[in-house]
């Protein structure tokens, strides 16, 4: 934030990129989020281990 920069550190959680476990975890954790958002007229996109939520409006409210 601004000019503040932290020291680098190693993250030791998660699964490796491309893991065969990713599709199963996606279904378990993210699939319901996409359905809930769609029911609220929020556009979504999901692919394997990524999800994106986006919406638009003609006003700032």
Asked if residue 28 belongs to a domain, the reply is yes
Does some domain include residue 49?
yes
9 inside domain = no
Task: Tell me the H-state helices in the chain.
Answer: 22-29, 31-39
pLDDT at 47: 67
Domains held by the chain: number: 1
pLDDT at 1: 62
Q: Please check whether residue 4 lies inside any domain of the structure.
A: no
Neighbour-count burial for 13-45, b at 16+ CB within 10 Å, e otherwise: eeeeeeeeeeeeebeeebeeebeebeeeeeebe
Residue 9 has pLDDT above 80, yes or no: yes
Q: What is the pLDDT of residues 19-60, one digit of tens each?
A: 888 778 777 777 777 778 777 777 777 766 677 777 777 887
**Angle (deg, nearest 10), helices 31-39 and 22-29:** 40
Domain span at residue 35 reads 22-54
* Position 31 in a domain: yes
* 59 occurs within a structural domain: no
């Amino acid at each position: 934030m601004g000019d503040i920069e932290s020291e680098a550190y190693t993250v030791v959680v998660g699964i490796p990129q491309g893991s065969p476990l990713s599709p199963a975890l996606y279904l378990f954790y993210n699939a319901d989020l996409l359905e809930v958002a769609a029911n609220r007229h929020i556009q979504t996109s999901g692919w394997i281990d990524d999800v994106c939520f986006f919406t638009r409006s003609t006003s700032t409210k």
